[in-house]
Structure 1
Amino acid sequence: MSTGRFQFASGNISKLLAIPKYMLSWLFALVVPRVAGTWAFGSGIGVGEGALALARELRDTRPDTEVQWLVADEAERRLAEQEGFTAITRRGWRGYWATLRAQTLVVTHGLGDVNRFGVFSGTVVQLWHGAPLKRIHLDSPVTTAVGGPALLRGVLRRMYASGTKQVALYVAGSVTAAERLRSAFRVAPGKVAVLGDPRDDALARQAAQPAAARAARDEVERLLEPQAGNPIAGAERLVLYAPTWRDGEADPAIPSETEIAALRAALETAGARLIIRSHPLGEGEYSAALGERIHLLGSDLARDITPLLGAFDVVVTDYSSLAVDFSLLGRPVCWFAPDLEEYTRTRGLYEALEVTAGAPIERSWSGVSGSLGELLDAGSVGHRESARAARALADRFHPHRDGRSAARVLAAIERLHLPAERLVNADGVFFESFYGRQVSCNPLALDREIAARFPALPRYWSVTNERQAVPEGATPLLVGGPEWFAARRLSRLLVVNDWLRFSFTRRSGQTVLQTWHGTMLKHLALGRPNVSLRTRLAIRRESRRWSLMLSQNGHSTEQFRASYAFDGEILETGYPRDDRLAVADIDGTLNPIVVASARQELGVPADASVLVYAPTWRDGGGTAIDALDVNSLATELGDDWIVIARGHTRTHEHGGYLRMHPRVIDASTHPDINDVILAADLVVTDYSSLMFDAAVAGVPLAFFVPDLANYRDRERGFTFDFEASAPGPLLRSREDLVTFAGELPREGDGERIPAEYRDAYASWRDRFTPHDDGGASARVVDRLLAIGALNADAQASR
């Protein structure tokens, strides 16, 4: 392990110069087989971090397995051998060969923790080294820092991206950490598993067992004894200062002589000692501070500080993930960030430090000195508030606190080597809506019908985040994970509403039902203008993956045939997702109980009028569409109105509608679009297929289309004469919309639609919703049974 001033820029130059070695190693890996059941471990700090906890779990529970540890020097070799591991020098032929032959490779910092040239085709497990608070990897500009032309930076980014593809499993301690790892490494959600952080297993035990925390304190006292002068008394409190690494730069918080004197005085008064722990990759000029009551616990004394955190009463840090580890103990954290603005600008944080801390942030050593007394006094308000903030931090980042994370990770790794048939039930049904971003639309409606008829049938739902709820009895599968791939490959029936990705091939006996997600106003696929040959080939390849399609009406059927060159069976049954809307419409009036329930789900006051704004996305767009300015609209509509904004699924990752107005609700990620429609007194869209669903429920429509000519003639174009048949006004200003909303009929059977649009509305429904009678789901499932796509006798087994 090196404690020198590593910097990304110099490390990146080395990566670029090594490109020929990478290429040769990749070719070599194609012909050298890996040995089943072999493991190689490494860590950027030496023999430590979560890799050590996992290696011990492997050693203790699978004693016949050899644990190989890739070491950097003789000191690491001795530590590895003391653990009973086989120590192999990381660099050189032996390290390369051990890495190349091992089936499973475990790292905590990067591929260089083992031999970076031998990782190709191995099962690489990245434990990382703490919950990301600062931006990491590709989320931070410093990661790919390198001098020279833009071409070099582009090559470097591709190398980093290629490196992330080598990793089979990233381990996260929490959902929040998992979301950040997925962003930083640009990997599919299923590549990241929330299993708990093995490096925190010892700390979790210290939190539950006072004797374990006391043992950590004894070990710290032993390590510090040579420099502590007088032995550390049992009553003395220990404060740890652990700043994060700053890309090789010195700690900007190195105290001055005046600050040292004030700090010593504060420690004397509190009966405490300050232990300084510089980041292993950084350097700090702390020599002037050392001595009376201030000591240095460097990596030469303790390579891994995390298992020793139970020794400390307070931790002082800036942006280090060590604060998240320490929060397991529920003890105070003093946040000290003198360079907060500069660090946020250059390195970046995933959220404002104030949000993470939940407590005051000190900006100088005088502030730290002034707060230590209270933080060390268990009876003080400051101590109680800081401890409360630490517990809140633990609640966010530590769902697993049983000290068994290493065991969970080991089990997950072993599942990576299982055949697909052991992961899922081949008689199951796989559902995916909008690439897994939502549990909604036609697939959800069909899930309900299938579950009601065949409750024992295994059902798998594609999701992109652990926070998504799936229907009762169904199994969520994260996109891109091994179980997700297994379910797609083996399930007897796939029900999807958008393209299949990841080079899917439909196997013999497998049925793929493409439900799509709306009647099309705008041109799709082959019908779009200026479609390239490459795209045309991709479209035809995609449609050949489908066994049959679902259509809401005759117009959709014609469009699917032309736009996707689909010559298979099309079920023109109406839309399952609109069954709920259809049964709610009773002779032109929506069931008031259903409306009240929908409004309650969305948080809408019972007596408010509701305008829903649901625009579609734009080709090449990178943001939610807000041509109306929903906050201004809410103001102009007045106190009687609530505005519900519903962004398209393809704009969710680019943000939503900021709720800066008390009468604006952002329902973009609300799981059921039907709630939004049923709650509405008026639905406003531009070119979204929501216009056809709203018509099923008989909700008034208006179209805000200031870019009508451009959209019609240049961007997408329409599949029919929209302007001639629109069942509501085509508006080009917010003022016109406010006027129209104010003139809407409010009560009376058949009076919801303004008189001048009733004929057009009726014609619209006749043309586009003729089958939407509430029975579409049943008709589709009947057909699936008839063709053998469902095994009614199947039993859930996994």
Structure 2
Amino acid sequence: MSTSRFQFASSNLSKLLAIPKYVLSWLLALVVPRDRASWAVGSGVGVGEGTLALARHLLHERPGTQITWLVADEAESELAAAEGFTPVLRNGWRGYWATLRAGTLVVTHGLGDVNRFGVFGGTTVQLWHGAPLKRIHLDSPVTTAVRGPALIRGLLRRMYARGTQQVSLYVAGSVTAAERLRSAFRVAPGKVAVLGDARDDALAQQALRPELALAARDTVARILAERGAAPLADGERLVLYAPTWRDGDTDPAIPNQRDLRAVSSALAATGARLIIRSHPLGEGEYGEAVGERIHLLGSDLIRDITPVLGAFDSVITDFSSIAIDFSLLERPIVWFAPDLEEYTRTRGLYEALAVTVGTPIARDWGGACEALTGVLTEGSAAERESVRAARVLANRFHQHRDGMSAARVLAAVERLRLPSRELVRQGGVFFESFYGRQVSCNPLAIDTEIAARYPQLPRYWSVTSERQQVPAGAIPVLVGGRDWFAARQHSRMLVVNDWLRYGFKRAAGQTVLQTWHGTMLKHLALGRPNVSIRTRLAIRRESRRWSMLLSQNPHSTEQFRHSYAFNGEILETGYPRDDRLAFADLGGSRNPIAVATARHALGIPDGKSVLVYAPTWRDRGSSVVDELDVNALATELGDDWIVVARGHTRTHAFGGYLSVNPNVIDASTHPDINDVILAADLLVTDYSSLMFDAAVAGVPLAFFVPDLTEYRDRERGFTFDFERAAPGPLLASRGEVVTHALALAEHGVDAGWVRASSAAYAEWRARFTPHDDGHATPRVVDRLTELGALPSVHTGHDTSRG
């Protein structure tokens, strides 16, 4: 059996019973001032983890800083005092008051590391206790586990969500970890910063300086000797076994006598000792495993194991983040998970364990011993492969490997306290496309022109991930972070293509250019059916934030006036994002160089015909739109065709298109939609505004609309007679799409033929793309300069002139 000092269900019950205390504490926090010079810190494991590394660095940099360590018992109190901190019991009145008064709060496991009732209004930093492999917090079903009616469970989820908003900064060691923290805590991307894991600073230094790793080995050897173990011999290996916590359930890997004999034999053969370290929150019955070469090293002996991981030659674990820490040393890791399927089903992993580890996973002690023997055999293939996998793991989960993460965290905390005007350069331009999910569309085209004309002008791009690339010279700002808010507030101009959020108010002298993101076929905003009073008020409030609107054509201008009740200036210039498409149109065909360049960017083999499928999103949809079934479509078209699938930005959260057929390419997140359009021999959509952009380049169009009546009459409705005006056939089955595509290929028709032979296509272009001549972008920037939104004198190249 295993025992547990913590279970989510009992903890959640106590949270619900404490609701009156939370309410009273929130009210008190409104009137009690905080002392910015004082810190209240804590950790779920006691005096350790990243909090200890940060607090030590703080005392080193600012001797005399008041640091109160919130402790659970007298033993922790003594450790905190020995470090120079003021220990206070976290659950008493003094702990509450110390938390309520401190300017900065630091935790590793949760708000309960300090006094959870005193956190309201504080600057709270969450140093998570390891890179998330298993699903955590709101991503894990066990987090909100509590018995009772749906109302109670819903209340508990809201309490957890409210708690996550009390944290000012979450710290991650890598972009991968940051993405998982954002998901688990349901916070804006800018609330999470990739600064490195402070808890790994000592270990990172051991990876850089071997003498420090030797010192860690001496520390472990001394502790073992004090417990009666024989002294370590020269060359003797140390192996750490560190299973993770199983939410209070029995640890399935506890060895029986047969297992112990196999372990002892493997240890003897490799000249090694096994050190067992059960998870601090769950203690397994490993007492009977102690032997000549097997020792226990519980949290009573070393409370925080991470700073001494350099003592070990190898680690055996299942799902523990200790493996991620240990990978910094680039030493062998043995993965041993006897309950892999059950654990994956009940707790959940962010990805299949096999994807994470990159090496075989042992399923019993026999397999673990075999793997251990292999990786401890110097020069063996097993050792080389395990070291390679550890290196890959380290590169993926440790963006910073210099042992200075605590310093970065402290600098980030200081930055949190700066006035917003000091976070950004004044008078710049802020760009956002699709709520920061892409660096694309009209804002990107306008950015290119502004950068050429005004190279010294600060340019800020809203992004949702560190993985996104912004234009050269631009500064990325993560959505919802302080820098993001500051850039919006202090830029002279904002260029956006969708709604502004988070209560934005346009400042005096500030220009907001709303470029929108396509000519509308379907109704939007006030034009939608059954719009509630609340939504109508929100729409009018939103349109008052804009200084001017960008329009592609007279139809859009009319719709914007009506749909957003907008009375400001509308720049009917054509779409900057379509300038490249216009230049690719040679009057009777598309520029073959432009087409080849686009296809190369998408990875399309030479000699293939290309069908692009680009459906729009659905108002109540919760999945990628694939009514056409792109894999079946590719099969029916045959090997001469490539199907490129492009999902709408609002469906990215639901995943992409699974490319079962090798002739399917998912281009949903490809950064430039113009590549997708120019690559197409035939573009198939339903109701997406891509139909207007594709017409700029003369790309053949077809419309897969089996739900035409439903969409037209019940979902959104159309702003004009689409069935009469459509510049291509309206198709209702995949078979019809295949027949149409093959007919085009068989007759060898090109874009020029389609345009010349179809009156509907010509009428469509005349009506919806009258200004798209390749010069829309300079026209927009010229007008912005005339209005004073941009400087009247510039030092860059004027791209509007030749």
| 1:250–1:282 contact (8 Å) kept in structure 2 | no
Corresponding residue SS for 1:225: helix
| 2:9–2:144 contact (8 Å) kept in structure 1 | yes
CA displacement 1:150-190 (0-9 Å, x = unmatched) = 11111100000000000010000000000000000000000
Q: Is 2:238 the counterpart of 1:229?
A: no
Match of 1:438 in 2: 438
Alignment of 1:214-363 (within 5 A): 214-363=214-363
Match of 2:182 in 1: 182
| 2:698–2:751 contact (8 Å) kept in structure 1 | no
Match of 1:90 in 2: 90
Tell me whether 185-194 or 377-386 shows the greater mean CA deviation. Answer: 377-386
Tell me whether 687-696 or 68-77 shows the greater mean CA deviation. Answer: 68-77
Corresponding residue SS for 1:545: coil
> CA 1:214–1:794 in structure 2 vs 1: closer, same or farther (change >3 Å)?
farther
> CA 1:529–1:215 in structure 2 vs 1: closer, same or farther (change >3 Å)?
same
Displacement after TM superposition at 1:375 (Å) = 1.4
| 1:427–1:791 contact (8 Å) kept in structure 2 | no
Match of 1:529 in 2: 529
Match of 2:544 in 1: 544
Corresponding residue SS for 2:468: coil
- Residue type of the alignment partner of 2:299: S
Alignment of 1:724-739 (within 5 A): 724-739=724-739
> CA 1:754–1:545 in structure 2 vs 1: closer, same or farther (change >3 Å)?
closer
Displacement after TM superposition at 1:754 (Å) = 6.9
CA displacement 1:773-794 (0-9 Å, x = unmatched) = 0111101111111111123569
Q: Is 2:503 the counterpart of 1:517?
A: no
Corresponding residue SS for 1:193: strand
Corresponding residue SS for 1:39: strand
- Residue type of the alignment partner of 1:218: D
| 1:228–1:291 contact (8 Å) kept in structure 2 | no
Corresponding residue SS for 2:287: coil
Displacement after TM superposition at 1:261 (Å) = 1.5
- Residue type of the alignment partner of 2:759: D
CA displacement 1:549-598 (0-9 Å, x = unmatched) = 00000000000000011111100000000001011111122111111111
Give the distance between the partners of 2:348 and 2:794, measured in 1 at CA.
Answer: 51
Match of 1:576 in 2: 576
Give the distance between the partners of 1:791 and 1:411, measured in 2 at CA.
Answer: 34
| 1:138–1:184 contact (8 Å) kept in structure 2 | yes
Give the distance between the partners of 1:752 and 1:333, measured in 2 at CA.
Answer: 62
| 2:505–2:545 contact (8 Å) kept in structure 1 | yes
- Residue type of the alignment partner of 2:124: V
Match of 1:463 in 2: 463
Give the distance between the partners of 2:678 and 2:76, measured in 1 at CA.
Answer: 65
CA displacement 1:359-384 (0-9 Å, x = unmatched) = 11011111112222221122111111
Q: Is 2:114 the counterpart of 1:114?
A: yes
Alignment of 1:650-669 (within 5 A): 650-669=650-669
Give the distance between the partners of 1:540 and 1:344, measured in 2 at CA.
Answer: 47
- Residue type of the alignment partner of 2:85: F
CA displacement 1:687-741 (0-9 Å, x = unmatched) = 0000000000000000000000111111111000000011000000111111111
Give the distance between the partners of 1:194 and 1:432, measured in 2 at CA.
Answer: 22
| 1:574–1:776 contact (8 Å) kept in structure 2 | yes
- Residue type of the alignment partner of 1:322: I
Match of 1:192 in 2: 192
Could you list the runs of 5+ residues in structure 1 that have no partner in the other structure?
none
Match of 2:563 in 1: 563
| 1:227–1:295 contact (8 Å) kept in structure 2 | no
Match of 2:368 in 1: 368
Displacement after TM superposition at 1:606 (Å) = 2.5
- Residue type of the alignment partner of 2:13: I
Match of 2:717 in 1: 717
Match of 2:35 in 1: 35
Corresponding residue SS for 1:87: strand
> CA 1:161–1:794 in structure 2 vs 1: closer, same or farther (change >3 Å)?
farther
Corresponding residue SS for 2:274: strand
Displacement after TM superposition at 1:234 (Å) = 2.5
Q: % of aligned pairs identical?
A: 74
Alignment of 1:151-162 (within 5 A): 151-162=151-162
| 2:786–2:792 contact (8 Å) kept in structure 1 | no
| 1:699–1:752 contact (8 Å) kept in structure 2 | no
Corresponding residue SS for 2:558: helix
Give the distance between the partners of 2:335 and 2:792, measured in 1 at CA.
Answer: 59
Tell me whether 301-310 or 74-83 shows the greater mean CA deviation. Answer: 74-83
Give the distance between the partners of 1:751 and 1:428, measured in 2 at CA.
Answer: 43
> CA 1:606–1:70 in structure 2 vs 1: closer, same or farther (change >3 Å)?
same
Corresponding residue SS for 2:216: helix
Give the distance between the partners of 2:70 and 2:592, measured in 1 at CA.
Answer: 68
Give the distance between the partners of 1:574 and 1:274, measured in 2 at CA.
Answer: 70
Give the distance between the partners of 2:775 and 2:261, measured in 1 at CA.
Answer: 80
Tell me whether 344-353 or 232-241 shows the greater mean CA deviation. Answer: 232-241
Give the distance between the partners of 1:202 and 1:794, measured in 2 at CA.
Answer: 50
> CA 1:713–1:311 in structure 2 vs 1: closer, same or farther (change >3 Å)?
same
Give the distance between the partners of 2:785 and 2:419, measured in 1 at CA.
Answer: 29
Corresponding residue SS for 1:38: strand
Displacement after TM superposition at 1:227 (Å) = 2.9
Give the distance between the partners of 1:13 and 1:751, measured in 2 at CA.
Answer: 70
| 2:453–2:795 contact (8 Å) kept in structure 1 | no
- Residue type of the alignment partner of 1:656: G
- Residue type of the alignment partner of 1:753: V
Corresponding residue SS for 1:218: helix
Tell me whether 379-388 or 45-54 shows the greater mean CA deviation. Answer: 379-388
| 1:249–1:283 contact (8 Å) kept in structure 2 | no
* Structure 1 runs (4+) greater than 3 angstroms displaced: 745-752, 791-796
Corresponding residue SS for 2:169: strand
Match of 1:753 in 2: 754
Displacement after TM superposition at 1:64 (Å) = 4.0
CA displacement 1:49-76 (0-9 Å, x = unmatched) = 0001111111101224222211111111
Give the distance between the partners of 2:640 and 2:472, measured in 1 at CA.
Answer: 37
Corresponding residue SS for 2:15: helix
Aligned length: 793
Match of 1:398 in 2: 398
Alignment of 1:388-787 (within 5 A): 388-744=388-744, 751-753=752-754, 758-787=758-787
CA displacement 1:8-56 (0-9 Å, x = unmatched) = 0000001011100000000000011111222111000011000011111
Give the distance between the partners of 1:578 and 1:116, measured in 2 at CA.
Answer: 53
- Residue type of the alignment partner of 1:186: R
| 2:644–2:667 contact (8 Å) kept in structure 1 | yes
- Residue type of the alignment partner of 2:664: V
Displacement after TM superposition at 1:226 (Å) = 2.7
Corresponding residue SS for 1:753: helix
Give the distance between the partners of 1:770 and 1:747, measured in 2 at CA.
Answer: 28
Match of 1:24 in 2: 24
| 1:700–1:752 contact (8 Å) kept in structure 2 | no
> CA 1:76–1:593 in structure 2 vs 1: closer, same or farther (change >3 Å)?
same
CA displacement 1:206-243 (0-9 Å, x = unmatched) = 11111000000000001111334321213210110000
CA displacement 1:751-784 (0-9 Å, x = unmatched) = 441765x111010000000000011110111111
| 2:587–2:752 contact (8 Å) kept in structure 1 | no
Match of 2:799 in 1: none
Give the distance between the partners of 2:448 and 2:229, measured in 1 at CA.
Answer: 71
Give the distance between the partners of 1:719 and 1:181, measured in 2 at CA.
Answer: 42
Could you list the runs of 5+ residues in structure 2 that have no partner in the other structure?
797-802
Give the distance between the partners of 1:607 and 1:265, measured in 2 at CA.
Answer: 61
Corresponding residue SS for 1:643: strand
Tell me whether 341-350 or 87-96 shows the greater mean CA deviation. Answer: 87-96
